[in-house]
Amino acid sequence: MIKLLKFIVGLATILIVVVVCLVLFWLGPAVKKTVETVGPKAIGAPLTIEKLTINPLGGIVVLEGLFVGNPEGFTAKSAVELKKFKVAVSLLSLRTDTIVIKEIVIDGPEFTYERKKKTDNISAIQKNIEAFAGKEGSGGGEKPSSEKKPTEKKPAKKVVIEKLVLRNGIVKAKIAGIPTPPLALPDIEKTDIGKDSGTTWTGVAAEVSATIYEAITSAVANIGVDGGAVSETINTIKGIFK
């Protein structure tokens, strides 16, 4: 469960950062092509996006039909499927110290955890990503110390999320080839995140995480599984964002 939660949280966080970057730099078609080219190499599994729509004047990015397959050796159709992921950003706020995200909608996420012998699909994908990152990072060495220039750290921009919605979510599992009943995640809506004092991107990640935690914990509790055990993992995983 911990691995699955980490994976879900990581995916949600990456999606938010990518989509906001799209708003900032208007890289829609180029990013879609790059993601579908580099993504499968990085995760060792199929990765496609059906549609990516950008409204530059409205500061809206909509990603539809995200499909993350499974590495070789696993039989579940997918690891992650997402119907729609929408982010609306206030363009005027991009020039200020506080970025205002009007709305984040995570619609129809479907996560599948497949356990096989001593491994699982989530671990396999994570290992592939780590191997890919190591390969990419080994290309260039460090510059001599004489060439290094001191850099001045700028204060991190604050972020306010006016509305965060998670709806129509499902978590599935497949253990030793046998699928378990799917868990329907309850719909969750939160407003005015970080409005009083503002939060950083780290805070945004933590808030999205907390929303997903809440949904999964509720779903697990509803089928009679030890919800307390899941709650304990929540505190552990929150450390990722500190």
Let me know: does 208 contact 9? Beta carbons within 8 Å: yes
Query: Which comes out higher in pLDDT, residue 162 or 19?
Result: 162
State the Cα torsion 214-104-17-126 to the nearest 10°: 40
Hey, is 160 helix, strand or coil?
Answer: strand
pLDDT in tens, 178-208: 787 888 888 889 898 878 766 776 676 666 6
109: containing domain: 2-129+158-241
**Has residue 146 been placed in a domain?**
no
Q: Which residues of 206-239 are buried (b: 16+ CB within 10 A; e: fewer)?
A: bbbbbbbbbbbbbbbeeeeeebeebeebbeebee
Residue found under tokens 């994570």: 126
Number of domain units in the chain: 1
Q: Output the pTM of the full model.
A: 0.68
Question: Where is pLDDT greater, at 133 or 73?
Answer: 73
- Give start and end residues of each alpha helix (H) in the chain: 2-25, 28-43, 121-137, 201-222, 227-238
Q: How many CA atoms lie within 13 A of 110 on its CB side?
A: 14
- At residue 206, the pLDDT reads 67
Q: Would residue 136 count as lying in a domain?
A: no
Answer yes or no: is 141 within a domain. Answer: no
Domain membership of residue 211 (yes or no) is: yes
pLDDT value of residue 229: 46
The pLDDT-based confidence of 9 (bands split at 50, 70, 90) is low
- C-alpha span between 40 and 47 (Å, rounded): 5
**Has residue 124 been placed in a domain?**
yes
Give me the residue label for tokens 């096989």.
Answer: 116
Specify whether the CB–CB gap between 190 and 129 falls below 8 A: no
Residue 176 placed within a domain: yes
Average pLDDT over every residue of 231-240: 45
